[in-house]
Amino acid sequence: MVYTVGKYTYVSPLEGFEDAPPLPDEKNEDGKSYKNPMKDTLSKSYLEFPDPLDKGRRGVPELRIYRLWDKPIGPHPVAMFEVNLFTPAQFGAFIPWLAIYRGPLSVLIHPNTVEDGEGVEHRNHSQRAIWMGERFPLDLDKL
């Protein structure tokens, strides 16, 4: 399936997985993020840029992916989901993949720094943030 937004055409993120079994809804110990089926080896995404059909939880199961929120939550004014990256290698593999295959979606990339003081989350979501696609104004008063 292919869809067009503006002058760009995108492949459906489900292409190639139509007959794949559903991913489990089981959660990790944090009770929030999804438990991904692990493989014996790390994803090839750490060594080469992946094929566009090598997607998300199936392609890079080492990433921690959270549920989809279908309404605004916290400072985020639109539906969203969260992916946590824990190593420079994960960041280096996932961010270029997003740049190429995110389709028409907007992406907010921000650190979750561990530091003392007020305003840390505000700064992480604003001054330290990187956007791909359309930038949405965040309600930073909710942080």
10-51: pLDDT as tens digits: 777 677 778 888 888 899 999 988 888 777 887 777 776 555
- Given a contact cutoff of 8 angstroms between Cβ atoms, the answer to whether 94 and 49 are in contact is no
pTM of the model: 0.66
Question: What are the residue ranges of helices labelled H in 33-83?
Answer: 56-59
Which fold does the domain 26-143 belong to in CATH? Alpha-Beta Plaits (3.30.70)
The Cα 141–Cα 122 span in angstroms is 8
Q: Report how far apart, in Å, the C-alpha atoms of 55 and of each of 14, 75, 87, 100 are.
A: 9, 27, 19, 12
**Consecutive H or E run containing 108:** strand 107-109
Write down the mean pLDDT value for the chain: 84
Please tell me what DSSP assigns to residue 102. Answer: -
Task: Parse the chain into domains and list their residue ranges.
Answer: 26-143
Tell me how far apart the alpha carbons of residues 25 and 5 are, in angstroms, rounded to a whole number: 30
